[in-house]
Each structure stands twice: as structure tokens, then as C-alpha cells.
Amino acid sequence: MSPPRLNPALAALALAGFLASLLAGPAGLSLADSVTGLFAGGSEAATAIMRDIRLPRALLGVSIGFALGLSGAALQGLLRNPMAEPGVIGVSAFSSLGAVAMFYTGVAGAAQWVLPAGALAGALVAVAVLVALVARRSSTLTLVLAGIALGSLANALTALALNLSPNPFAAYEIMFWLLGSLADRSMAHVAAALPLIAVGAALLFASARALDALSLGEEAAESLGVNLARSRILIVVGVALCVGAGVAVAGTIGFVGLVTPHLVRPLTSRLPGATLLPAALAGAALLTFADAAVRLIVTGRELNVGVATALIGAPFFLWLVTRSRREAW
């Protein structure tokens, strides 16, 4: 499919996911109730459900899915590696560590902004370390190795927090956070995440040309006028903003960033810059549909969407890997 048709098609799919997310839920509102609740303010209950529960949830699903798909495509391009995803550079892990620290110390309940602030602070710490390292020793390999080290450190500290957890409730809260969920989020969460995702996405889209050039290797990219150090910093900060904002309001949601670039790449020219927008739109569609599905599949107790994306994503990825006989992407 040519790009002029691919992007509108994926945008329509993401919109369908958004609507599915708006209409799905245990309250069993009819379509008419949903629409009047959202716009005209029908019954008080329908209005509350639509405006305070489902609308923020659907908005977050679209924007976080968009951010994760975009981050995955950008990182795969930067690292020239089809296995790259936001988890690789340690930003997701540090971000959730920041949130876990808030649970562990018990301050998470003090105010609604404490938890997102902790997650964002975690993402920023990881980015600061990465940028400092990349600025000093300028190589993509350094970035990957440092990312893996940071991720392992964050996971170890998170495990430590679980181990030493003061009470079972804190441990439960931490586990819930690590599984990722869009349930019970408010418009305040949307307002916190959206601006950060918008800035991060702008940085990543601005790097499209540099990513294309990088597919020829770092020396060739430099000879094509790419400022490598600057591009690396732009992309790492962009990913940190996108992923940090996502983790801050929804916990860790895996596999969306890894899988969506692979889903859309065969439909594009396969140049990394050309996969950015399709991967972002596919991410938005994937996450909103997954989030609608978890509300419908399991009745009684809701499945965490992070669990669902991993359950769908991991086997799918394995299938992708076995299907491609050669090492070609």
C-alpha cells in the first residue's frame, strides 16, 4: 500500500479503536446513551461514565499507543536493530522504578500528581545518564549497553522494593503498576501526559531524515550531513518524553513499541523515517482495541492491558521471527 493511502487507513483504524474504547465497558450503556452522555449530558450516570471514566481512558489509549509505536520505530531506526524497543534503553524500567519508589515510601497516596511525577523523574534520571554517556563517548553501542545496564539496575531496585515492601498492599500496588493499566484514569492524567507526548513526538518526527540516513551506517550518515550526536540526543529525549509520560499515567505496557514497527514496515518503503507515522497510528489502534477487549473478555475482574498486549504481542512476535526465513527486515 502506498504511504498516501496507508496513513489514512491506519488513522481510520486508530479512530475505530478510540470509538471501541469509548463504547466498551461493564456499565452496558447503549450506543444512544453513550453519545448523549458524552455530548448532550443525558442521565447523570451516563454522563459521568462517559466523560469521567471512558473518555479519558480512550484518549490515553490513543495517545499512549501512538507514543509507544512511534518510540519503537524511532529506536529501531536509531539502533539499526529490529529488536529495539523503549524497554531497551532503560527508560521504561527507570520510569516505573520512579513510580514504585512512590508506592514504597507510601507517599503515592498523598496526592494524585505524586505517582506520575515519580515516574517522570525516573525517566528523566535515565535520560540524563544516557545523554551524558552519549555526549562523552559517541557510539550507538555505548547507548545500547548503557541502556541495558540501566534497565537491569532499575529492575533490581524494583525487585528490592517488592522484597522489602512494608506491607502486602504496597506490594500489590507495585505489581499492579508493573502490569500496566488504563483503568480509572481521569482527565487530569490526560492533561499531564498529552503535552509531554506531543513534544516527544515532535522531536522524533523531526529526526526522520537522520534515521533514513542512519540506515547506511553512522559514517555514511555523517557524510550525508547528519549531526550524529545531536540526532542521538533528540531521539533519546523524544523517546523518554513519550515513554515517561506513558508510564507515568499507565504503568509499563510492553510489546506495543516492539511489534507495531514490524507490523507496518512491509507496507512502507522500509526506510526508518517512513515507518514512524504508520507505527504510531498502528500503536494507537492496537492499544485502544486491546484496552476495549480486556473490558469485555474477562467479566468480574478486569485484565490489565499490559498483560493483554504482552499475551498478544509475544507469540505474534515469535511468529514474525520464525516466518522470516532470513535475517531481513
Question: Rule CB under 8 A: which residues touch another protein?
Answer: 80, 209, 212-217, 219-220, 222-227, 265, 269-272, 326, 328-329
Of 118 and 273, which has the nearer Cβ to another protein?
273
Q: In terms of C-beta density within 10 A (0-12 exposed, 13-18 middle, 19 or more buried), how is residue 250 classed?
A: buried
CA 179, 183, 189, 195 dihedral sign is positive
Of 88 and 190, which has the nearer Cβ to another protein?
88
Of 109 and 266, which has the nearer Cβ to another protein?
266
Of 161 and 267, which has the nearer Cβ to another protein?
267
| Residue among 291, 283, 288 at smallest CA distance from 308 | 291
> Going along the chain, which residue ranges are E strands?
none
Of 52 and 222, which has the nearer Cβ to another protein?
222
What is the rounded CA–CA span in Å between residue 202 and residue 140?
22
CB of 242 vs another protein, minimal distance in Å: 20
Q: Are 89 and 116 in contact (CB under 8 A)?
A: no
CB of 322 vs another protein, minimal distance in Å: 18
CB of 228 vs another protein, minimal distance in Å: 9
What is the rounded CA–CA span in Å between residue 278 and residue 47?
34
CB of 326 vs another protein, minimal distance in Å: 8
Per the listing, cell 492499544 goes with: 287
CB of 265 vs another protein, minimal distance in Å: 8
